[in-house]
Amino acid sequence: MADGLTVPFALLYVPSVIFVRGNPTATADRIRAARWVVELGIAAELVNCSLMVIAMLALYRLFRRVSEPLAAAMVGLFLVSVPLQLANLLTHLAALMMSSGTATLAAFSKEQLDALAYTFVQLHTRGIQLAQIYWGLWLIPYGLVVRRSGFIPGWLGIPLIVAGVAYVANSVTALFFPEYERVVSPVTLALGAGEIPILVWLIGWGARREWTPAR
């Protein structure tokens, strides 16, 4: 999907550049030194949201003939994540403000501002984990409607469903059972690659055959 263009940069590269676990001062120093990286990450997430809304509309048009309820559920579940992701960008904007030490923040010490910047970066991660629940849930009706389509190989729906369950499991673990996150995350990350086969198929071949109901 379109998120493959921007998500790796915004959600993987940017945190790797600015975040130092357990060290607010080092994190704030990195934000100050690489402010443009954080700003590009914000821009990348904005682009991602826009591209994905367009992609959802295209998928709805493609699959509504197969199953209107599944197509609507697919789009609706994903669109829930969009305002969550957009609102979550405020955390990175806040981290930029805290690290800049503007005159309006003069009442706070540098150590306090660094701690706040660090906290906002952490909150951004938590916000993404919350949005990821819906990034997983929409893949379940997507996988089901692919299996019914008749113009896309039905087996491609199975890894989509597995990926959807994996994303939800990853978020639930990170948010509510963080002590198990290091164990669960590598497994769910691997299963989340179930999105890739249909992406490759759509790019390489596309839904070129006329629609016939799956038997």
113, 28 in Cβ contact below 8 A?
Answer: yes
The distance of Cα 75 from the centroid of its chain, to the nearest Å, equals 15
Q: Which of 160, 211, 198, 199 is nearest to 2 (CA)?
A: 199
If one compares 136 and 103, the residue with the highest pLDDT of the two is 136
Task: Tell me if 117 sits within 8 A of 95, measured CB to CB.
Answer: yes
Query: What per-residue confidence (pLDDT) applies to 100?
Result: 86
Interval 65-94 mean pLDDT? 96
CA–CA gap between residue 179 and residue 98 (Å, rounded): 29
Six-digit token pair at 161?
């469903």
- Residue 20 zone, left/alpha/beta (φ > 0; ψ -120 to 50; rest): beta
Task: Please choose, from the candidates 212, 90, 79, the residue with its C-alpha nearest in 3D space to the C-alpha of residue 134.
Answer: 79
Mean pLDDT of 130-158: 95
| 100-109, 150-159, 192-201: range with lowest mean pLDDT | 100-109
Whether the predicted pLDDT of 206 surpasses 80: no
In order of 30, 187, 197, the CA distances from 91 in angstroms are 16, 28, 33
| Helix ranges (DSSP H) in the chain | 7, 14-18, 24-33, 35-63, 68-100, 110-137, 139-149, 157-176, 181-191, 196-204
Q: Which pLDDT score, from 0 to 100, does residue 215 have? A: 45
Rounded to whole angstroms, the Cα distance separating 19 from 31 reads: 8
Contacts of 52 (CB under 8 A, 6+ apart): 1, 2, 3, 78, 82
Q: Sorting pLDDT into bands at 50, 70 and 90, what band is 101?
A: confident
Above 80 in pLDDT, residue 150? yes
pLDDT for res 2: 46
105-120 b/e with 16+ CB inside 10 Å = b?
beeeeeeebbbbbbbb
What pLDDT is recorded for position 1? 47
Per-residue pLDDT for 51 more than 80? yes
